Amino acid sequence: MTQLPLMNPTFLIDANCLIEPYNRYYSPRFALSAPFWQHLHNLVNSGQVAIIDKVRDEVYGHNCPEVDTWLDAVNSSLVVCEEENRIIQAYRTVLNQVANPENGYQPTAVREWADRSIADPWLIATAKFYGATIVTFEQSQAELDRPWKHPKIPTVASQLAISTESLFTFMQNDRSF
């Protein structure tokens, strides 16, 4: 049985939006960020925001014990990507997008994202499945830098008509933050 939120999420959170706030803004005084983490937890529980299992796997156990505890608290709401056939189909579409030489990626990019443990292509595939926006700190790649060695979420997502926004834009637009 697929573990999916009760509602279709409007937003999916990238790993860097969990790691960066912890490492850069709130560590070592995690208690200062309790309202941020509680609100994000509430958004996940409501089904408006989702965390995919691949993002959890990238973040979990990397010297962020408070974030690990937070992830444990939302574990029952995780989207399990490889248990939903339409997400797997969308994942193949994402890999094909990166593999197509006309789209500006070097072969190293294809090899990098072909690793099933890499969360980024799964995040894009899940956003495609739900019609969700990806919340990430990554920036789009410059056209002048083509062909790209490493795919970036905003570039690939844009090529597939999937929206992305920064965590700060997400927080600003969510009036309850």
Q: What 3-state DSSP class applies to 33?
A: helix
- pLDDT number for residue 145: 87
Please list the rounded mean pLDDT of every run of 10 residues in the chain (177 residues). 59 95 74 86 94 96 88 94 96 96 91 95 98 97 89 96 96 82
- pLDDT number for residue 27: 63
- pLDDT number for residue 4: 44
Q: What 3-state DSSP class applies to 124?
A: helix
Question: How far is the C-alpha of 135 from the C-alpha of 31, rounded, in Å?
Answer: 23
- pLDDT number for residue 146: 86
Range of the domain at 126: 1-177
Rounded (5°) CA angle 136-124-74 = 65
Q: How many CB atoms lie within 10 A of CB 78?
A: 20
| Count of residues making up the chain | 177
- pLDDT number for residue 35: 87
- pLDDT number for residue 28: 61
How many domains are there within the chain? 1
Q: How many CB atoms lie within 10 A of CB 102?
A: 5
What's the pTM value of the predicted model, to 2 decimals?
0.92
**How does 129-164 read in b/e, with b if 16+ C-beta sit within 10 Å?**
bbebbbbbbbeebeeeeeebeebbbbbbbebeebeb
CATH label of the domain that carries residue 111: 3.40.50.1010
Question: How far is the C-alpha of 92 from the C-alpha of 21, rounded, in Å?
Answer: 31
Helical residues (DSSP H) of the chain, grouped into ranges = 16-20, 34-46, 53-59, 65-74, 85-99, 107-114, 119-130, 153-159, 167-173
